[in-house]
Structure 1
């Protein structure tokens, strides 16, 4: 009998304008001291819980277990990533390659699920070919596809891509972001790497490779999901892509040391 009365009261309260101002039924119950009454809460459970669950289920998972950093300075672009893969509290692999060359003019790095990222890189390469290797246009098209496609929007990764002129970050939310200062970082260690790189970017005697090396070492020391087994790619002032050993670079002009064609 009480439950029937509660349901009737609930319908009446839900239709009242002041009930909406009070924050819905949950607010009405709280005002009347009935929020914890099992009869009323069973009769009309709070809608806020279901909305919170829906919001949580639609929220893209936070990307963990890596650090990827891209630094642009004085016509040089360096992309560096660590090699650690973490599953829970266990390091399952220390030397995964998270950077790659895309065609002859573009480099990219990823954080998140490897298979998902490789799928996205394949789609990006097809978009680059479709749009005459215009990086910004291709990334915008990928961002639209990633957000709207029923299959792609389930992919859990974040990408950083760069060519001789532009550096961009792409996310599954449809964001295509270009940094104002030439520095991008993604992954669990990105706050440390980004802060360090921005602090060092104006230092005299440090080129892009030296800035990236120091910033990644700081991130590796601070983030438990990031190791110091780095892979890195460089675009020089002529647009040529090289693989470099970031551990061997020095100060200005140091990016050429240990480089591979």
Structure 2
């Protein structure tokens, strides 16, 4: 049986990553919903990890326990390949797709070391956005469209991320305005 059938109403998260002006910002909302009920409104879905002392921003959508498992794996990959986010993300995606345990995990990640910005999926994808904006989760498409529309305005990366998240929160019932925002210099 598909695990999504066991929890058909599990939703909740919007994560956006914006790279502009020598900075990368990853922002995420705080809402976790089960069906039509908000279970928690202040979840922290954006984290800063520092394997080998070099910070990496990680935002996750999907099952929290699954996402934490993936973050731990990513941290180990980064410890094995310090300063090589792309290599670590590709290795994580390969493991995620082929490992019997990991391939059942239901989450997506946006990761950045300030220079690179990637979306990592369980399908084996490591995607670098074409327009310096990436978004995932229930309201991801709304945040992505808003951030891309705002990108050419006279706004910095953080302002774009915050406005995009506000727009997503106004449209998506599984997204709220309680943000966690992390920034890195390129």
* Structure 2 gaps, min length 5: none
Higher gyration radius (CA): 1
- 1-structure distance, mates of 2:76, 2:184: 21
**May I ask how many residue pairs the two structures share in their alignment?**
181
Larger RCO, structure (CA 8 Å, separation 6 or more): 2
Flag the 1:132–1:236 CA change in 2: closer, same or farther, 3 A.
closer
The aligned counterpart of 1:231 is 180
**TM-fit CA distance, 1:133:** 2.7
The aligned counterpart of 1:13 is none
Give the 5 Å matches for 1:1-261.
57=2, 64-103=11-50, 104-204=54-154, 206-237=155-186
Higher helix share: 1
**TM-fit CA distance, 1:105:** 2.0
TM-score computed with the length of structure 2 as normaliser: 0.92
Aligned 8 A contact 2:11 2:34 in 1: no
Aligned 8 A contact 1:64 1:111 in 2: no
Structure 1's consecutive aligned runs of 4 or more residues displaced over 2 angstroms after TM superposition are 56-59, 61-64
| Local SS of the residue matching 1:116 | helix
Higher strand share: 2
Aligned 8 A contact 2:106 2:122 in 1: yes
| Local SS of the residue matching 1:83 | coil
- 1-structure distance, mates of 2:27, 2:149: 17
* Structure 1 gaps, min length 5: 1-55, 238-261
Q: CA RMSD in A?
A: 1.9
